[in-house]
């Protein structure tokens, strides 16, 4: 096997690229992908709220489009259903993009098993973060989940809200930020010129992808304040580290679900 073929095989295995090229997207293509997926992320939420609102709001026939967004966006049932709709739309879009690039969807998105040892290490790191964040939140007298109040009080079933926010939301958020975008950005910075430098290039690509996707992910949580956005940035970096260490998207998905579940459990214990 020549040096060039070794490099190609390494890149394929470590970044789960679905073709023989070292990078599935060109630099311009990766930039367009980032902009497009962020826009699609927002648009899918709007479409989800509109469709769910049209279906579930009792006075929808007399409402304008703006009314549907205003009343639907504060209705727990509508928001919960809209999250499920958004997830389906993002899943379909991601699969379509990768299939158009002739990539193996599951391989490129790193849907694969991970080491139990790595999983336990990342779980420990997440628990440390959660404890530290909780202490700091109490010390600063913050209420990061205050935006859940109107959703909780208007949802038809609390379990529907829990399912949407604890299970579904982490899946499609990870799919976008630690899935397709993380891999597309990482491969732009990690194509090694020599096989001996592959670990350095791999780490460089992971770092670039982690910083960029985490910053975007944090800023997109506009329902929070500055403190909460900073906390989300750190949390996103932990998910990225889990993605890098495990080589699997499944681990950050599970960690995200665990984090949201703990936060929701704490919220429900306070309001019940």
Q: Is 150 buried (19+), middle (13-18) or exposed (0-12) by CB count in 10 A?
A: middle
Res 193: pLDDT: 54
Q: What is the pLDDT of residue 59?
A: 80
The half-sphere exposure of 119 on its side-chain side, counting CA atoms within 13 A, is 13
Over the stretch 94-113, which tens digit does the pLDDT of each residue have? 999 999 999 999 999 999 99
Contacts of 238 by beta carbon, 8 Å cutoff, 6+ apart: 122, 125, 126, 129, 255
Q: What is the pLDDT of residue 191?
A: 62
| pTM, to two decimals | 0.88
Do residues 49 and 80 make contact, with C-beta atoms less than 8 angstroms apart? no
With beta carbons less than 8 A apart as the criterion, state whether 114 and 251 touch.
Answer: yes
Report the pLDDT value the prediction gives residue 79, as an integer from 0 to 100.
97
State how far the Cα of 89 lies from the Cα of 95, in Å rounded to an integer: 10
pLDDT score for 18: 37
- The ranges of the chain with pLDDT < 50 are 1-21, 194-195
Q: In angstroms, what CA-CA distances link 53 with 60, 63, 84, 137?
A: 7, 10, 13, 34
Q: For 133-186, what is each residue's pLDDT tens digit?
A: 989 888 887 776 777 889 999 999 999 999 999 999 999 999 999 999 999 999
């Amino acid at each position: 096997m020549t040096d060039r073929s070794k490099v190609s095989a390494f890149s394929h295995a470590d970044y789960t690229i679905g073709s023989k090229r070292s990078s599935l997207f060109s630099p311009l293509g990766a930039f367009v992908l980032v902009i497009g997926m962020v826009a699609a992320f927002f648009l899918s939420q709007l479409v989800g709220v509109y469709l769910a609102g049209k279906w579930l709001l009792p006075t929808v026939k007399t409402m304008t489009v703006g009314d549907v967004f205003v009343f639907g966006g504060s209705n727990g049932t509508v928001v919960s259903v809209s999250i499920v709709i958004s997830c389906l739309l993002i899943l379909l879009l991601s699969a379509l993009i990768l299939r158009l690039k002739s990539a193996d969807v599951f391989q490129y998105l790193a849907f694969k098993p991970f080491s139990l040892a790595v999983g336990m290490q990342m779980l420990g790191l997440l628990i440390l973060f959660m404890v530290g964040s909780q202490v700091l939140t109490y010390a600063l007298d913050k209420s990061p989940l205050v935006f859940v109040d109107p959703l909780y009080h208007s949802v038809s079933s609390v379990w529907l809200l829990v399912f949407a926010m604890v299970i579904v939301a982490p899946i499609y958020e990870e799919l976008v930020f630690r899935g397709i975008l993380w891999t597309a950005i990482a491969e732009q910075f990690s194509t090694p010129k020599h096989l001996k430098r592959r670990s350095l290039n791999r780490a460089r690509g992971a770092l670039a992808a982690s910083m960029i996707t985490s910053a975007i992910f944090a800023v997109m949580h506009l329902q929070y304040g500055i403190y909460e956005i900073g906390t989300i940035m750190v949390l996103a970096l932990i998910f990225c580290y889990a993605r890098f260490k495990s080589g699997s998207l499944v681990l950050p998905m599970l960690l995200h679900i665990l984090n949201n579940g703990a936060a929701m459990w704490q919220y429900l214990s306070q309001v019940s």
